[in-house]
Structure 1
């Protein structure tokens, strides 16, 4: 498919130099292996092709790759200062009562102690209460089950974060 029929942002992404494409993808996901897999499969004719490549790349992450990806995510309730993406994604905790924020902090610490990494969830559109309930539910999972849930959540987060990259006007 030619760039004239490919959405502007996707056509732009397809033609970025490798280093620039990897940098753009690093803003989506901290896993180097994931980014290299997506760059290697360019060009993408449609956003759906890119999203499918995301899904395949996430499914193929090793435990070390998954850990690298998770290291790029702040704990729920504590978005990275100056990072509008994590603040937007965690909006549900922004207006939560102090008691809920304190409970979430404790649950985050308990979860991290149990699994050795941050509680990862696609928080977009979820309330503080829904986030709290999710960590409470998942903290009882086995490590293997939780790793698969994290993999699924990472794929969902990446899709949301990829969308603006491929929808940008070609002049962006």
Structure 2
């Protein structure tokens, strides 16, 4: 949609569109309340500034809106379309890489209590596996921060896809 259309959506419609970009209710409300935006650049800047202020509960809420990378059945059934594109090239990966992604994602979840978050757009399954291997032994606090940073990148990508001008 065009920015002018987004600016003129009802509050409920704007909230729904924003929550599709970042599954954090408080963030979406705050961004919706800042309308109208003069440009996509301003929208992205303001959204990023608000995301920087998110607390752990808000970050974890945003994480809950994602499929586990490597969980192919969940990706196919729950997050077809947009998520499939955002998951990079995971659907074209070889079975051994997918199995290792699944195994490490399970270990990551058990260690941290939330899924591994990465902006996977354009990344191969092997690249995502390498990133997961590099981060799996980090502290939970470090991973909340790493995941929040990645969520910010995902949100920017989704906002750019939402607004066409």
Report the TM-score when normalising by structure 1. 0.89
In the TM superposition, 1:1-172 aligns within 5 A as 9-78=2-71, 79=75, 81=77, 83-167=80-164
* Equivalent in the alignment of 1:5: none
In the alignment, the residues of structure 2 paired with residue 146 and residue 67 of structure 1 have an alpha-carbon distance, to the nearest angstrom, of: 11
Give me the whole-angstrom Cα distance separating, in 2, the residues matched to 1:11 and 1:80.
Answer: 33
Which ranges of 4 or more aligned residues in structure 1 deviate by more than 6 Å?
Answer: none
- How many Å apart are 1:18 and its aligned residue? 0.2
Consecutive unaligned residues of structure 2, counting only runs of 5 or more, are: none
Larger Rg: 1
Equivalent residue pairs, number: 161
Q: State the Cα RMSD in Å.
A: 1.3
